[in-house]
Chain A
Amino acid sequence: MAKYELLQGNQACALGALKAGVEFCAGYPITPASEVMEILAEKLPETGGRFIQMEDEIAGMGAIIGASVMGKKVLTPTSGPGFDLKQENLAFAAMAEIPCVVVNVQRSGPSTGGATISAQGDLMQAKYGTSGDSPRIVLYPNSVKEIYGTTITAFNLAEKYMTPVILLMDETIGHMRENVCLDEFDNVEIINRKFPDVAPENYHPYEPDETGIVKLAPFANGKGYRYVINGMHHTIDGMPSLTPENIYKTISRINDKVERYKEDIWQWEEQQTEDADIIIFAAGCVSRSASEAVKQLRAAGHKVGLFRPISIWPFPDEPLAKAIKNAKMVLVAEMNRGQLIHKVKEIATDNLKVVPLNIYDGTVIMPEHIIQSIKEAAK
């Protein structure tokens, strides 16, 4: 018989991380994300892993990268101002191609904003928060159960593509409790890091094979793979180098791999988009209200559908373009002043009306807000 458990979103994240094989967590307390680290502080010693509360968010990010360099699966949870501080070493992880998972349970900002107030203000920061061009995989679940599965996916993608992965959550979902059955994850695929397949004397850590993905041997591997990991532009051996050739190769490689494998990374959900005149574009907690709005509007005879990106970066542009091809209007509902709407507008054809719905007063977008917006826009 299926076993149901009442889990909080943040708890599901910690349990998903354990299922994925997390071995190291370092963080700094911040509401509304602290539960993730509190649970891992309790559980990691049982699995032989390690937890440490660091002196600040920057150090938490640094410590997990240090552990990842040693071959461990790692995670740090944060929110709002803490996510600002993660950016510095997030860029390092992207540049040096070190897998790690950063959980950002979004709260209302800017600055201290509201610690327990829900908002979707970090959607662009998650991709563009750091200096320079760097890749980002950002996943955005909308339920407690999905948080569990998406956390596992986050680890899998980080290890597979040797890059940081951000798990974005809403305060609303992070602190919400839902009855979930985790049985279906019993045989979920767990991806582990690949070890170099060339002899140490022929090994160039930053010269990937035809897959375009580096195979970084964990440091102190006992097999003679010894090299430099460096946040500066580097040679195929990780040595600092500022030649145009090396700069171009480094920036291209770290970004191209995410672009090349985007179809493997993309995740999205569609509800009744096939015949829809109006499509609601919503992610995270807003998509739950959107789903309810679709139901109510369909019941009233309107052809409305929902497009929900689960991977917001790389942005699922082709799936969205396909879904909105025959629609007349897209309502982009976000709990911010309009962020992903810019991506939607990039994709929308000239005869498609793109309508914003932005609520950023700390309350959650409800089905009636969406229904009202659609009615007004359709006037």
Chain B
Amino acid sequence: MSTAYKVQINRKWCKNCGICLAFCPKNVFSFDEKKKLQIVNEIQCSGCLMCEKRCPDMCMKIIREEE
């Protein structure tokens, strides 16, 4: 059984500051051409929660899923 993580962004609260992106050890996020936050590498998420805990707008949610 392996562990996977689902990454959710509350778009209503997110201001696209990029703090989650900058310090993600697994490069899960990226900015699109309009500097809008995108999830590009969800499968790599290790569930360290650094993005969720550092988010100044409380819009990140990492959900642990057993497979």
User: Do A and B contact each other directly (Cβ–Cβ < 8 Å)?
Assistant: no
